[in-house]
A and B are shown apart, each in its own frame.
Chain A
Amino acid sequence: MENWTLTWTKLTPLEKKSVEALPNDLPGVYRLSYKAEDGNYYVFYVGKAEDINVRLSQHLSPNEDNVCIKNYISTKSCFFRYAKITESYIRDAAEKQMYKQHEPTCNDKEPDGRDDVKVNLT
């Protein structure tokens, strides 16, 4: 079993300005959440990217092809947080682990990833 420590960022509004402020060429995993009426922030999508800046910009673009994400972004106050991960197999494992924890509404299927690699999700 491999254990890896991730540094998760604070919850940040998912908007053009904050996404553009991210470093370029930032590989890692991320979660999208929305602020619910009960005041809590619930995760609706988890993902991984070789460049989180580019990937989050795609989610905000009118061309986003995941209708579920598009609906959340257009109707709710949405937020993201991410963790930098250079190694791709750690990204895969982290994405799978996040998926299992949250079973997010907007992810179509369980991601592939190793089960013998563990990361912290908070």
Chain B
Amino acid sequence: MLSSDILELVLERDGIDFTPGDCVAISHADGTSRPYSVSSSVDDETLHFVIRRMPGGIVSEWIAERKAGDEIEISPPFGWFRPSRSGKKDDPSVFVATGTGIAPFLSALRSHHEMAPKCCLYGVRKKSDAVEIDYLQKRCPIRLCVSGEASPPHHRGRVTDLLKEIPMSPETHYYLCGLDAMIDEVSTWLEQHGVHFTRVHREVFFNA
């Protein structure tokens, strides 16, 4: 467990090829499946996932009960969210993530050492839910927003409180990953501030 309700699942790579931003569907023994984003590098020998253990969640509860050596059925990787398509100095990007929505950004940064996002807004409920914060701080300017408790020096509140701090430019790509309410709010704000919708890339997570 990474925190009281966030866990890291590590699977043998077994030759699986993927692109940062890809998900795999992990299947419960009864056939119910849920998609989870890969958080590891394309060069790692293992596949990593950051998973929130949802109370009553059929698949996440089941995953949390697995033990080292257990076999898990997963789908081939798939995805349409590509945070590593931009992010170099001449092709700027901004990341906005909430909760386990940080996973595809971790995969992109770990896979592409030259990536240098202009900013990353990262929202969590509790400070202990923030994953790999030290690594993220080394890779880009990061603003951690903690909504459920005071955690100085971090902002207490939601990522949407800090939208005015997002670097704005016509050539920047904005990558959003997390729950639908945050993504809709940030998308709307960006478009109202002149960002063309083709530069807003979305990956919606659902609590299930």
**Are chains A and B native binding partners rather than an unrelated pairing?**
no
Residues of B that sit less than 8 Å from A by CB: none
Residues of A that sit less than 8 Å from B by CB: none
